[in-house]
Amino acid sequence: MAIGSPGHYSQYLSSEKNKKENRDFDLATFMNGVIREKLKVIPSKKIWNDQSNLVFLELESDFMKSAVDQVDELLSRGESVTIYNGQVDLICATIGTEAWVQKLKWQGLKEFNSIGRTPLYCDGSETKGFVKSYKNLRFFWVLGAGHFVPADQPCVALKMLDLVINSTSFNR
């Protein structure tokens, strides 16, 4: 399997080398090593860390605040907005995200609600997720993924990224 292919990184996480050396996967080592080498753009002084307490404390007043008004503003200005959710995410449950979307005052919400979801497939015919898109709003439901969609469903995460970055089909 080639480096960068959809299944490569998920296989690295549970590789036989890691199992034989009887060690747990270390995300910081992975991000500061394999990923840094692959991207070739991260400055050497920048070190990946999963969460900075200092940053969290500075942003604490924004924690768990609604972003409906900001998303409405982006949508009304014609900016593309993408929302994604891991279907088994216990922290940000999909049903809660769907309810949050219904609070938008965006003029296209009624039409967005009236269209169906399109299934997403990876490595075979089993459905791995869904996407719904209308005008400049896109919503992805990723099946079998929790809070860390790219780690849980790397193939779908790459497909989602490709659709977001390369697609011009926001139905404009």
Give the range among 13-27, 71-85, 135-149 with minimum mean pLDDT. Answer: 13-27
Q: What is the CATH number of the domain that holds 145?
A: 3.40.50.12670
CA-to-CA separations, 123 to 62, 85, 128, 147, in angstroms, rounded: 39, 20, 9, 22
Query: pTM (2 decimals)?
Result: 0.68
Say whether both 127 and 47 belong to one domain.
no
Per-residue pLDDT at 13: 52
Instruction: Kindly state the percentage of the chain with pLDDT values over 90.
Output: 49
Q: In terms of residue numbers, what domain contains 157?
A: 66-172
CA 7 – CA 155 distance, rounded (Å): 6
Most confident segment among 3-7, 22-26, 161-165: 161-165
Residues 6+ apart with CB under 8 A from 79: 136
